[in-house]
Amino acid sequence: MAQIFPVWVNDIPKRLQLAIILVVTAIIFGFWYFGSPEYLEVGYAPEQPIPYSHSFHAGELGIDCQYCHGSAWNSAVAAIPSTETCMNCHEYIGLDLETTQPLLDSWESGDPIEWVRVHDIPDHAYFNHSIHINTGIGCATCHGRIDRMDVVMKKESMSMGWCLDCHNDPAPHLRPVEEVTNMAWEPPDDHNEFAQMMIEKRNIDAPVYCNTCHR
Amino acid sequence: MGNQPQKTYWRSLNELAQNEEYKKFAEREFPEQATELTDGVSRRNFLQIMGASVALAGLTSCRKPVQKILPYTRQPEHLVPGIPQYYASSIPFRGNLAGVVIQTHEGRPTKIEGNELHPESKGRTNSQQQASILELYDQDRSRNVRNNGSDNSWDNFVAFCNDHFSDTDRTVAFLSEANSSPTLARLRNDALERFPNARWVTFEPFNNESVYSGIESVFGRRLRPLYHFDHTRITLSLDDDFMQESDNNVSYIGDFAESRKMLSPDDEPSRLYVAESNYSLTGSNADHRLRIKSSEIPPFAFALASELSRKINGLDAYSGYTNAFNDHSWIRVLAEELVAHQGNSIVTAGAEHDASVHATVAAINLALGNAGETVEYLEVPHLDATDQNEAFHTLVTDMNAGTIDTIVMIGTNPIFTAPADLNFGEALKNVGTQLHLSHYFDETSKVSTWHVNRAQFLETWGDGYSWSGVRSVIQPVIQPLFGGKNEIEFLNAVIHGTDESAYALVRETWRNVFPDDFESHWNRVLHDGLQTDSRFDVADVYMVDGSAEIITTYLNESTAAFSDGIELVLKPDPKLHDGRFANNGWLQELPDPMSKITWDNVALISPNTAEQIGVPPARKFGETRQQVIRIQTNSGRQTEIAAWVLPGHADRSITLYTGYGRQQVGRVADQTGVNTFPLRTSSNRLVQQNIEVSLAGRTYEIACTQDHHSLEDRPIIREADLQQYRDHPTFAQDEVYIPGTHGGEREHPLSLFSDKELPAHEPQWGMTIDLNSCVGCGVCTIACQAENNIPVIGKREVRRGREMHWIRTDRYFSGNERENPKVMHQPVPCMHCDNAPCEQVCPVAATTQSDDGLNQMAYNRCIGTRYCSNNCPYKVRRFNFFNYSKEYLTSGDDPEIIQMAMNPDVTIRFRGVMEKCTYCVQRISRAKIETKKDTGDSIKPKDGTVKTACQQACPANAIQFGDISDRDSRVSLEKSKDRNYMMLEELNVRPRTSYLAKIRNPNLDI
Amino acid sequence: MSQNIPMVPDNQLVKGNHDFASLTKLISEIPQERTPLWWYIAFGISNLVLAIMLAMIAWLFWNGIGVWGLQQPVGWGWDITNFVWWVGIGHAGTLISAILFLFRQGWRTAINRFAEAMTVFAVMCAGIFPAIHVGRIWTIYWIFPLPNSMQLWPNFNSPLLWDVFAVFTYLTVSALFWYMGLVPDLATMRDRVKGRVSKMIYGTFAMGWTGSNRNWQHYEKAYMILAGLATPLVLSVHSIVSFDFAVSMIPGWHTTIFPPYFVAGAIFSGFAMVLSLMIISRKLYKLEDIMTLDHIEKMNTIILVTGNMVGFAYAMEFFIAWYSGVEYEKFVFINRAFGPYSWAYWIMITCNVVSPQFFWIKKFRRNIALTFILSIVINIGMWFERFVITVTSLAQDYLPSSWGYFSPTYVDVLTYVGTFGLFFTCFLLFLRFLPMVAISEIKGVLPQADPAYYRAQNGNTKSNK
Amino acid sequence: MSSKDHPYGILAEFDNPADLMDAALSVNKAGYKHFDTYSPFPIHGMDDAMGMKPSGLGWIVLVHGIIGLLGGIALQVWSMDIAYPVHISGKPYLNFPAFVPVAFAIVILLSSFGAFFGMFFLNKLPRLYNPLFNSSRIAKATDDGFFICIEATDPLFTVNKTTDFLREIGATHTETIPN
């Protein structure tokens, strides 16, 4: 009886093993990296109908977050300011800029400005701004240094895991309530004592059961 | 909907996948930030938002669909996006206002609650009131003015009126639905002044005319009886379903429940006797119930009166009168009972019964000294002076005679509802011009010269009185979605030919009410939703001269001999009334309180009668097809309708509900049930005797939500007679032996595992349902549906047993089905077990227990194995077998309208996920967050701040909810009562929801 | 060399005068000869039915679970019934190859290959149902413990999850076992088939097997160990499947007798299925010498035993229901026999308890026609057993208000029928291309395989050449 | 390359299992180490005849089994108690009775992998090219042939001596397998 296979096929198994190992690891890590919200979400910075610069308004001019997004302090949503809010100033300044034109149009016509949503959590997750702010979670903690962004960009993955990380151990993210809008705030050296004190005093126990966010 | 009459939300599955662009909405109402709608929305703006949000389907960036946010251009003050606002207003029904508070999210009315300040509603509501929010968002409502069927404009209509009514000699007939609005009354007077030949007729297919007439014949005035069931010890209802059909049912149920409250065994609950033909909701709550034909009610009343006349004064007119009932055991017992409770008993009779019955009832109440005590007779200014049933009759005669030039129909739908013998349709043809104001382009609109689309009470201003005379303003919370007008604007245009806003007209009226300092009073009224201490005057009543003669004639007319033929009784449907709510999916899908039938009306008959007709007296388990019977009245009118055996129904009697079988009105109303109005004649409004019934030889599928109606002697509902309860106060707990509790020594049965410790800083939620208070009306189901975005799934799916209601009311019969079985009602929401069987079997831990003790369901984690539902002993879990919500929210031409009705705080469930009662967790979360923000360190809301939707709506106040770790909370107090028990406690699932046993108060002499 | 070997006595496992070569020929010829017409026809039909199944599943995915007849309260109907039924059938193979192997039952060699193949295919069919019965098929991977950005994990308390692991393990191990047994025979095929391509294919899968004794040593060890592992596995799988019911709290499900009862039932139906298939194929392929009447009789005996175990379990359920004094339990079982589903119950009793009683009589045990009919009847009966357990318990549980009658839709029915398409497609391919009897093993049980045999003939084998 | 100077080994055929067994015994006695017997089915007693050590497969399986057990328990303990503990039916996070089935399944699964792949590993399979296949007769080894092959790598191996030796011990046919 003659040989069916040439001699070299005997090496195939070894090579195959190696190949399989490589491919599998590649796939796993591929998913791990490219499938992760960090990759998919972070860095999303769509162009807005008005090239509104936070770094100018919030940074240079130092307008406080509350001025435009005040509802975040007592409501679930941090609403986008109405055209009216903008017009409080822009009735007097920046009228000549063509960048403010859409604003004025909206003011004339009464049609809303169509901002593009940057921070969008799924509809089945209910996030409440007010409780976080009033417990001393800073704007920057989730939104990053808005005051340095010309175009608003998503800084955090805002995945469920990301939420849980903080809810499981909120201490590092707590800050004095009056500092929440302070973009530049850095935890002092004695932060841990402070955090513990807050947790004691305000009885902070960030819940992690489903109903906290899903209803 | 003319173009697609057949199309219905629930039938066309193929519709499902199409509307891709609305995908997002199917998952949850519409973008949270689309806050444009607030100060009332014009559809143009509204559609812009939709348009914008629609964009997301198309445009996609590298990452995900682009979502647009549309902020306000001019944000209304006091409005914070994401925080609901509440406005006090009122709901008109048959001319009586119910005080309500309306919740709006960014300008969308989303929920209706009762107005706590209102003396009648006391913060409570009934099914129709809860469901009226859906009516607002009904796409099938008429959207524009039509002239001879073709579209036209309001301005043209006003112009037409200007021209048409410039000739004031016209013989104008105003045909209005019952209405108590002072503003309308003012306009009415203007009208009658302006047009000397005009007449005003109030038409309601089901009304209180014979009540008023009856009272008039003995008291000399048309007065409105107001019952105080909370003060009564003995109540006798003669075929009067005051818990369902009365205009005042919300406060009546509340008062009745109040009179039955059992805080301890020593309490004295009132006793209810009911004599009726149909097994009504009221009858199901009776301590003693007598099955007699409705035609036997008058003789029964007379016999009672004559029996009483031998014991007390004031009923001499009846003394000596005899009929077959005189030696009936009930008459004797009732007479004793009533005499023993003079001044704190009540006798009532069904509104549609003859004047003679109401005269007798009034006489009895007066003689018993109940008048002024438990029954008050109110002088109602806006009541018509004469019997409107007769007025309507003469109107039709004149119309046929061609002497009516123009008819102005305000809100009513006589073509559908008028007595068949009058043949209103023909009569209307003899009228030169017909103007019609209505919500839908309905049967009457189709044959009218002008149809004006009507604005709903949430859309325009109005005013009026409640049943007891509390004066309120109807305050709109949104601009008319379809640019409709309400009766005030309409009538004003007709009379004055001007386009006045209802707002101006109503304020004008109220200026007379508050001559000085109007604005502050006005604002107060708007804030409270009513004018404080406004109430009708109580008339002091006495038998007027000549009443005796009238009574004598009544007695002589009454037929002493009873026929043993089959008789037909026509009643308003408990849900759809006369059909005005027929296009309301929530009401259509709400199971009938007694028969548990949805989407249809049937011929209710007793088992004996069933056999007599040839219908099987008992339903085969799982059988949805029912025998259809042909009913022919002696006037030759006939119809075919499915027969339904209702144990406890009177023999040789058939009860039919009206309001079904409407054609081309809306996608919900069409092709549901059978129109029974054609059987109704002006002479026999309620009863038609000696009808012919035969099998039609075909069957018809009925969607009934409860297949089996016997308790099988299982200790699921626990009840006792008052005496048993006093002898053995803890009977409820002791009824079942709980292994391992050693006779209550241990709180819970032995368990393999040690008890779970839940964090102390969390509240522990729990609920009690007092079966002694619950009357089984089913409003909890609708309230829950409104609060929790529960879709309407349609007859086919309900028939398959896939109803989605989170809280259902189980109805069981016990005792002899052939004779007079007792009925028990039991609302069943999720029990939120501590050892929930559903949790352990879920392979992905989609349902788990929260730290505050809720059995939480994470929809988006659910993969849909249905194992949890299988393993739930209470079967309270509901599965999305199809993409119900999507079908519900994306069907029709303008799905975004129904989407506006959704509660933004509740996720809309996707196909293939399990769902169930959440104890209204959205309300809990809101309360906990607010508490934390206020106190800074606690997440335990004050007792009573969290109310579940069902609890809030319940007119009987049967449901308590709160923190059971707080020993003083109301719910804890309830749970500490001796009647408290847990359903299926022996399974050791430790439900958080427990029941309080029902106590009956029978008269041992019967 | 066969001529002077004495007639093989009756108690021999292989009838007829077979030596090694003739056996090799008999079995390895089958895949080589021209494909018979009946095969093409059968295969065509199977494919058609398989296509129907795929269509039904597609329809299901498109519309949702609603296309089945399921409702409140019956959340599981034909889906789980079919699953349990197929898994049950899938028990015969491993049982025969593993347990009978450990018990040194030589006769298993005639049928184990075939039974193992059936096992693998049956478990494939079974696996379909838990997969498609979920409402959101696209999220089904959540039941596997995979790291994810939600930081969520499956719930290891859930019997359904145990099921996933058990069935997956069972399928894998059965497949490995089956393939390992095939290797020497694939070598035989490799050395027999003409045609380069088929040589290469068989050659590849034979992995260069030479029959070297140093290989045989490890091979036998591995076979023994796998048998040792498969034995507890096969017993555990249906126990765990039964936990789906036993661990719940629905009367009629919550029953401690379930594990042994289900295993017995599984063997019962499994053997019946093996018989049905075997009786056909031994005729078609003239394998009467290998799959002898003795085999059929032995298997019928096992069917009789397990059938009676099942019958005992039925009786015991009733006794316990009565003895427990739990009204809900009592109701469920009375209701099974006399309630709305009594028809299903009595079909089950007739097929599973009554019909096997024939096998008390040797004549019937050795009657091929009867055996064939009964083997079919038994599988019908076992399907109804699962139906009765799954549906009737759910239909009428604790609250009478929530009782509901389940009736299937055409999708339910066709999906089930369709699985036979899958099963027979696979099985026909197996018959066509693989040796359906373990050649090397059956040679091993020939008397000639034992050296002692020749010494008995005082070494005269040398002379006769 | 010519088979003469570098053969793979000598292949000898025998009549039946008994002869093969005797032959194997003698070959082993003669001190040959690198030889093997080939038969269509395992022959009982052949291992001893060839003087082989018992198979070490059991140890491989054991190791896999232990890994499976530990891994299975670790997985469940970690995900149910450490990673994200949730209240489920009032049961403790560490609900060991519930962990048994999965742990068991994983043990069986890994052990089976051990046995299956271990077997091929120890047998150095797959080996699709095998010098033996150069022989025309070896095919009978999967049918009804019984062979001994003494490989050239054996120190005692020389083509002629070995061939003669094999004939002596009753080989019905011998052949030199080229490499």
Q: Are B2 and B72 in contact (CB under 8 A)?
A: no
Give yes or no for residue B44 having a pLDDT over 60. no
Mean local confidence (pLDDT), A176-202: 89
Window D:83-142, CB contacts with C under 8 Å: 83-84, 88-89, 91, 95, 98-99, 101-102, 104-106, 108-109, 111-113, 115-116, 118-120, 122-123, 125-130, 132, 138-139, 141-142
Window B:11-40, CB contacts with A under 8 Å: 24, 27-28, 31-33, 35-36
* Distance between CA atoms of residues C48 and C52, nearest Å: 6
Name the residue of chain B whose CA is nearest to C339's CA. Answer: B621
Q: Are C255 and C245 in contact (CB under 8 A)?
A: yes
Q: Where are the alpha helices (DSSP H) in C247-292?
A: 258-284
Q: Which of A6, A208, A209 has the CB atom closest to D129's CB atom?
A: A6
Residue pairs spanning A and C at CB distance below 8 A:
24
Residue for token digits 């026809």? C41
Cβ distance of A160 and C150 shorter than 8 Å: yes
Mean local confidence (pLDDT), A102-130: 88
The percent of residues above 90 in pLDDT, for chain D, comes to: 59
Q: Which of A1, A5, A159 has the CB atom closest to C149's CB atom?
A: A159
Give yes or no for residue C423 having a pLDDT over 90. yes
Q: Where are the alpha helices (DSSP H) in B368-401?
A: 388-401
Q: Are D174 and D11 in contact (CB under 8 A)?
A: yes
Q: Are B838 and B1001 in contact (CB under 8 A)?
A: no
Residue pairs spanning A and D at CB distance below 8 A:
30
Asked if C218 is an interface residue toward chain A (Cβ–Cβ < 8 A), one would say: no
Asked if A135 is an interface residue toward chain B (Cβ–Cβ < 8 A), one would say: yes
What phi and psi values does residue B234 have, to the nearest 5 degrees? Answer: -125, 125
Tokens (6 digits) for A89: 């100033």
Residues of B with Cβ-Cβ distance to C396 under 8 angstroms: 708
| The residue type at B405 | D
Residue pairs spanning A and B at CB distance below 8 A:
153
Tell which residue, B798, B832, B771, has the closest CA to residue B958.
B771
Mean local confidence (pLDDT), B365-390: 91
Neighbours of B423 (CB within 10 A): 12
Tokens (6 digits) for D56: 């070490």
Residues 6 or more apart from B387 whose CB is under 8 A from it? B209, B210, B212, B213
* pLDDT at position B14: 31
Q: Are B656 and B603 in contact (CB under 8 A)?
A: yes
Tokens (6 digits) for C427: 């099985």
* pLDDT at position B560: 58
Q: Are C199 and C32 in contact (CB under 8 A)?
A: no
Q: Where are the alpha helices (DSSP H) in B341-483?
A: 355-367, 388-401, 414-417, 424-429, 443-446
The percent of residues above 90 in pLDDT, for chain B, comes to: 57
pLDDT band, residue B47 (cuts 50/70/90): very low
Taking the alpha carbons at both ends of chain B, their separation in whole angstroms is: 56
* pLDDT at position B121: 86
Asked if D160 is an interface residue toward chain A (Cβ–Cβ < 8 A), one would say: no
Indicate the Cα dihedral angle C114, C115, C116, C121, nearest 10°. Answer: 90
Instruction: Look at the alpha carbons of C210, C214, C220, C222 in this order and tell me if their dihedral is positive or negative.
Output: negative
Characterize the bridge pairing of strands B234-238 and B271-276. parallel
C258 CA to chain B: closest CA distance, Å?
Answer: 17
Mean local confidence (pLDDT), B328-341: 91
Mean pLDDT of chain A: 88
Residues of A with Cβ-Cβ distance to B759 under 8 angstroms: 205
User: Crossing angle, helix B182-194 and helix B487-496, to 10 degrees?
Assistant: 20
Q: Are D123 and D151 in contact (CB under 8 A)?
A: no
Q: Which of C156, C207, C225 has the CB atom closest to D120's CB atom?
A: C207
Residue for token digits 């009690």? B768
Tokens (6 digits) for D12: 């000898």
Residues 6 or more apart from D43 whose CB is under 8 A from it? C213, C216, C449, C451, D17, D20, D21, D37
* Distance between CA atoms of residues C175 and C183, nearest Å: 12
Q: Which of B178-182, B736-740, B755-759, B849-853 comes out lowest in average pLDDT?
A: B736-740
Q: Is C4 helix (H, G, I), strand (E, B) or coil?
A: coil
Give yes or no for residue B64 having a pLDDT over 80. no
Tell which residue, C183, C407, C166, C442, has the closest CA to residue C292.
C442
* pLDDT at position C7: 42
Taking the alpha carbons at both ends of chain A, their separation in whole angstroms is: 73
* pLDDT at position B582: 92
C151 CA to chain A: closest CA distance, Å?
Answer: 5
* pLDDT tens by residue, B761-804: 999 999 999 999 999 999 999 999 999 999 999 899 999 999 99
* Distance between CA atoms of residues C334 and B281, nearest Å: 34
pLDDT band, residue C458 (cuts 50/70/90): low
Neighbours of chain C (3+ CB pairs under 8 A): A, B, D
D26 CA to chain C: closest CA distance, Å?
Answer: 16
pLDDT band, residue B12 (cuts 50/70/90): very low
Tokens (6 digits) for B523: 């604002």
Edge to edge, what strands does the sheet with B224-227 contain?
B224-227, B375-379, B537-539
| The residue type at B435 | L
Q: Where are the alpha helices (DSSP H) in chain A?
A: 12-34, 37-41, 54, 65-69, 83-90, 101-109, 129-134, 139-143, 160-168, 191-202
Give yes or no for residue D40 having a pLDDT over 90. yes
Q: Where are the alpha helices (DSSP H) in B620-756?
A: 722-727, 731-734
Residues 6 or more apart from B101 whose CB is under 8 A from it? B86, B87, B88, B89, B112, B113, B114, B115, B116, B529
**Conformation bin of residue D163: beta by default, left when phi > 0, alpha when psi is -120 to 50:** alpha
* pLDDT at position B139: 87
Q: What ipTM was estimated for this complex?
A: 0.91
Tell which residue, B351, B353, B348, B347, has the closest CA to residue B335.
B347
* Distance between CA atoms of residues B475 and B459, nearest Å: 8
CA angle C153, C159, C162 (to 5 degrees): 70
Neighbours of chain B (3+ CB pairs under 8 A): A, C, D
Q: Which of C150, C191, C199 has the CB atom closest to A161's CB atom?
A: C150
Residues of C with Cβ-Cβ distance to B706 under 8 angstroms: 401
Neighbours of chain A (3+ CB pairs under 8 A): B, C, D
* pLDDT at position C87: 93
Indicate the Cα dihedral angle C398, C400, C402, C403, nearest 10°. Answer: 100
* pLDDT at position B742: 60
Neighbours of chain D (3+ CB pairs under 8 A): A, B, C
Q: Where are the alpha helices (DSSP H) in B590-673?
A: 607-613
Name the residue of chain B whose CA is nearest to D89's CA. Answer: B835
Name the residue of chain C whose CA is nearest to A2's CA. Answer: C191
Cβ distance of A10 and D129 shorter than 8 Å: yes
Tokens (6 digits) for C377: 């009847």
Give strand pairing partners of B604: B644, B655
Residue pairs spanning C and D at CB distance below 8 A:
218
Cβ distance of D89 and B754 shorter than 8 Å: no
Q: Which of B81, B854, B922 has the CB atom closest to A77's CB atom?
A: B81
Cβ distance of A208 and D84 shorter than 8 Å: yes
What phi and psi values does residue D134 have, to the nearest 5 degrees? Answer: -65, -25
* pLDDT at position B56: 35
Q: Which of B858, B924, B938 has the CB atom closest to A210's CB atom?
A: B858
CA angle A89, A94, A98 (to 5 degrees): 135
When scoring D88, D128, D147 by the number of chain A Cβ atoms within 10 A, the one with the most, hence best to mutate, is: D128
Cβ distance of A7 and D84 shorter than 8 Å: no
Cβ distance of C165 and D106 shorter than 8 Å: yes
* pLDDT tens by residue, B835-844: 999 999 999 9
Asked if C152 is an interface residue toward chain A (Cβ–Cβ < 8 A), one would say: yes
* pLDDT at position B743: 58
Neighbours of B385 (CB within 10 A): 8
* Distance between CA atoms of residues D32 and D26, nearest Å: 9
DSSP state letter for B878: E
| The residue type at A72 | A
Give yes or no for residue A14 having a pLDDT over 90. no
* Distance between CA atoms of residues D137 and D115, nearest Å: 31
Question: CA separation (Å) from B506 to B180, B188, B437?
Answer: 13, 14, 19
D107 CA to chain B: closest CA distance, Å?
Answer: 21
Window D:74-93, CB contacts with B under 8 Å: 86-92
Residues of B with Cβ-Cβ distance to A211 under 8 angstroms: 850, 852, 854, 856, 918, 921, 924-925
Name the residue of chain C whose CA is nearest to B881's CA. Answer: C66
Mean pLDDT of chain B: 87
Give yes or no for residue B870 having a pLDDT over 90. yes
Q: Where are the alpha helices (DSSP H) in D2-125?
A: 17-29, 46-50, 57-77, 96-122
Mean pLDDT of chain D: 90
Provide the whole-model pTM.
0.90
DSSP state letter for B562: P
Cβ distance of B845 and D86 shorter than 8 Å: yes
Name the residue of chain A whose CA is nearest to D88's CA. Answer: A209
* pLDDT tens by residue, B647-662: 999 999 999 999 999 9
Window D:129-148, CB contacts with A under 8 Å: 129, 133-139
Window A:12-51, CB contacts with D under 8 Å: 12-13
Q: Which of D126, D133, D137 has the CB atom closest to A3's CB atom?
A: D133
* pLDDT tens by residue, C222-261: 999 999 999 999 999 999 999 999 999 999 999 899 999 9
B986 CA to chain D: closest CA distance, Å?
Answer: 16
* Distance between CA atoms of residues D129 and D135, nearest Å: 12
Tokens (6 digits) for A125: 């997750």
What phi and psi values does residue A125 have, to the nearest 5 degrees? Answer: -110, 130
D117 CA to chain C: closest CA distance, Å?
Answer: 9
Cβ distance of C221 and D57 shorter than 8 Å: yes
Q: Is B242 helix (H, G, I), strand (E, B) or coil?
A: coil
* pLDDT at position B497: 86
Give strand pairing partners of B878: B915
Please give the helix or strand (H or E) that residue B653 lies within, else none: strand B653-657
Q: Are C257 and C310 in contact (CB under 8 A)?
A: no
- The alpha carbon of C218 is separated from its chain's Cα centroid by a whole number of angstroms, namely 28
Tokens (6 digits) for C159: 């019997």
Cβ distance of A4 and C151 shorter than 8 Å: no
Give strand pairing partners of B96: B93
Name the residue of chain C whose CA is nearest to B913's CA. Answer: C135
